[in-house]
Amino acid sequence: MLAPMAGYTDLPFRMSCRAQGAFYMFTALIDSGALVHGNKENGNILRRGKDEPWLGVQLLGSIEGDIAKSAEMLDDMDFEVVDFNMGCPMQKVTKRPAGAALLFPENHRLAFRCVELIRARTHRPFTVKIRILDFEDPAPTVEFCRRLESLGVDGVTIHGRLTKSIYSGPVATAVIAAVRESLSIPVTANGGVFSFQDAQTLAHESGCGGIMVARGALGNPWIFRDLAAGA
């Protein structure tokens, strides 16, 4: 699965990845406020190819009114899945607070409120992408994801790094595995996939049937050919 990446996963890049065998993929993330207020870039972010198969869209934000309205808008558009971003670690996002800042304990109430608003306004499958909450102890991440499941989320993708780690360091596959074992909804593993071997290791150690590729596809759409070929 190709991850939603701001500034990268536009239609031309997705078509390059599809040509190498990719099927499941997302648009770049769309900001809820930008969507509600008609930002001129929205068209490029949300544009879907005429013959594109499965495509999800990822929503970013934390202002309740914008979240509610943008969820309604996306529900009227042509996407297979609506995903909510709780994984972006960039300071310009987390200081709002949005993205991975919603994983901070002081923002959990807001995070779950946003989930409730989206769930109530979309009839499409609804997923959430998060990061782990603790590298050593799976319990906080498991508890958080159980709450997401109780609110009607249809699936969770977990980037196995802490917010402060950004994109560096090891991936906490044991934490992802603990979440997968605790939920009845699908769990997709994400983090550090730059080759078939990386994907195989992440799948084996996490026990997840779904693997999300992010930076490993940048400049290398052939990674999906390699994943399909098992090479």
Catalytic residues: 88
Q: Distance of CA 127 to CAs 141, 166, 196, Å?
A: 16, 21, 25
Strand partners for 190: 159, 212
Omega within 30 of 0 (cis) for the link into 12: no
Torsion sign across C-alpha atoms 76, 7, 55, 92: negative
**How would you list the strands of the sheet with 30-31, edge to edge?**
30-31, 56-60, 81-86, 126-131, 155-159, 187-190, 210-212
Q: Give dist(CA 111, CA 118) in Å, integer.
A: 11
Token digits of residue 21: 């065998």
Q: Give dist(CA 137, CA 200) in Å, integer.
A: 24
Q: Distance of CA 82 to CAs 44, 59, 64, 221, Å?
A: 17, 7, 17, 24
